[in-house]
């Protein structure tokens, strides 16, 4: 099997590629080649793939998913395309939504068209639970309406609708995933956990939005990627799949866990004005994927401790990225 992975120099995509080449997903069969296709924007980092660069099955192509001509050059011979490529940071989408529409909507449409032209046998599009909006009680199934509340989630919802249309209209063998909040090593330092960890390492306060009671389901990147591999292998064409971590925590609880693990206290917290359109609670029902055999394997306390230790041990990785993480 030959797989092309867009956006694979980022946090989640690079983990998927590293694990794929390490043989972590036996259900996908023998991996003959993996092509990483990435534009290398501020969040794309080839150091995330340094462990795989000497593997003869690994190929890197620097490219934009909006470049259909380049995709047509690269795609022939691949069996599967996994589309991770996206602008992902909500705060950035509030300050500059156009990039999110171009990459997440036009880029997804360009990838889907290219997969059609090149007769790609299997396509999986990586989405987010943020497309559902906010839920006060209960959990979303995949049948819930998409009610996004930020430019980021709106662009991802538009991409999901395109995915559905390419299955219904053209018969493309495409499925999508909707994951909850990811954490783990190699996450870009603008995101909550690495931002808090690196700030505390530098003796800075950590910014906590509003009252800190916004709830998210937390998912280790390794569990997320195993869920994606399962969707590639067993997912039904045209179907979306929620991927959850099974643990809902509010931002105050996450903050307290990071503080405790790093030996700090609440005096290191700086309350800040709440984010515009800040969704109150996300909660996914991932029983549809669990019926295919999915089950999270990482306990949050262990995963958080290991993640914090990784950032302590890899300052040379994240230190150069701090300037890029600052929103202009």
Sign of CA dihedral 224, 225, 227, 232: positive
- Cα 288 to Cα 243: distance, rounded to the nearest angstrom: 9
Quick one: tokens of 61?
Answer: 């192509």
Active site (catalytic) residues: 129-130, 152
Count of beta carbons in the 10 Å neighbourhood of residue 119:
9
pLDDT bin (cut points 50, 70, 90) of residue 327 is low
Q: What's domain 2-182+219-243's architecture?
A: 3-Layer(aba) Sandwich (3.40)
pLDDT at 61: 98
Is 83 in contact with 6 (CB distance < 8 Å)? yes
pLDDT of residue 90: 86
Residue 33's H or E segment, with its range, is strand 33-38
pLDDT digits (tens, 9 = 90+) for 180-229: 999 999 999 989 999 999 999 999 999 999 999 999 999 999 999 999 99
Domain 184-216+247-272+298-320 belongs in CATH node 3.30.360.10: no
Residue 328 pLDDT grade (very low, low, confident, very high; cuts 50, 70, 90) = very low
Q: Please report, rounded to a whole number, the percentage of residues in the chain having pLDDT higher than 70.
A: 99
Main-chain phi, psi angles of 55, to 5 degrees: -75, 125
Please enumerate in sequence order all residues whose Cβ is within 8 A of that of 128, keeping only pairs 6 or more positions apart, or say none: 88, 153, 156, 178, 179
Task: Indicate whether 255 pLDDT > 90.
Answer: yes
Which pLDDT score is estimated for 218?
A: 96
Give the residue from 294, 226, 232, 305 showing the smallest Cα distance to 22: 226
Report strand pairing: 248-250 vs 215-220: antiparallel
Domain residue ranges of the chain, discontinuous segments joined by +: 2-182+219-243, 184-216+247-272+298-320
């Amino acid at each position: 099997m030959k797989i092309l992975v867009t956006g694979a120099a980022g946090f989640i995509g690079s983990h998927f590629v590293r694990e794929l080449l390490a043989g972590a997903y036996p259900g996908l069969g023998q991996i003959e080649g993996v092509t990483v296709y990435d534009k290398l924007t501020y969040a794309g980092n080839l150091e995330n793939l340094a462990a795989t660069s000497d593997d003869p099955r690994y190929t890197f192509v620097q490219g934009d998913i909006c470049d259909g001509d380049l995709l047509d050059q690269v795609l022939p011979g691949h069996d599967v395309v996994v589309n991770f490529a996206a602008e992902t940071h909500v705060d950035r989408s509030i300050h500059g939504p156009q990039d999110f529409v171009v990459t997440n909507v036009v880029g997804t449409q360009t990838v889907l068209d290219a997969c059609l032209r090149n007769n790609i046998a299997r396509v999986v599009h990586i989405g987010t639970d943020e497309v559902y909006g906010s839920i006060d009680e209960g959990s979303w199934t995949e049948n819930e309406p998409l009610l996004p509340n930020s430019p980021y989630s709106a662009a991802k919802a538009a991409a999901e609708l395109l995915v559905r249309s390419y299955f219904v209209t053209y018969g493309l063998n495409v499925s999508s995933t909707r994951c909850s909040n990811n954490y783990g090593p190699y996450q870009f330092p603008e995101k909550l956990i690495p931002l808090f960890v690196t700030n505390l390492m530098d003796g800075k306060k950590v910014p906590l939005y509003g009252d800190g009671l916004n709830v998210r389901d937390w998912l280790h990147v390794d569990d997320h990627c195993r869920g994606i591999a399962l969707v590639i292998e067993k997912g039904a064409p045209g179907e979306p799949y929620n991927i959850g971590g099974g643990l809902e925590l509010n931002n105050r609880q996450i903050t307290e866990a990071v503080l405790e693990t790093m030996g700090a206290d609440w005096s290191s917290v700086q309350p800040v004005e709440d984010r515009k359109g800040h969704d109150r609670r996300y909660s996914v029902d991932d029983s549809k994927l669990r019926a295919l055999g999915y089950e999270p394997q990482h306990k949050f306390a262990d995963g958080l401790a290991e993640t914090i230790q990784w950032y302590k041990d890899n300052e040379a990785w994240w230190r150069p990225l701090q300037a890029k993480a600052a929103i202009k």
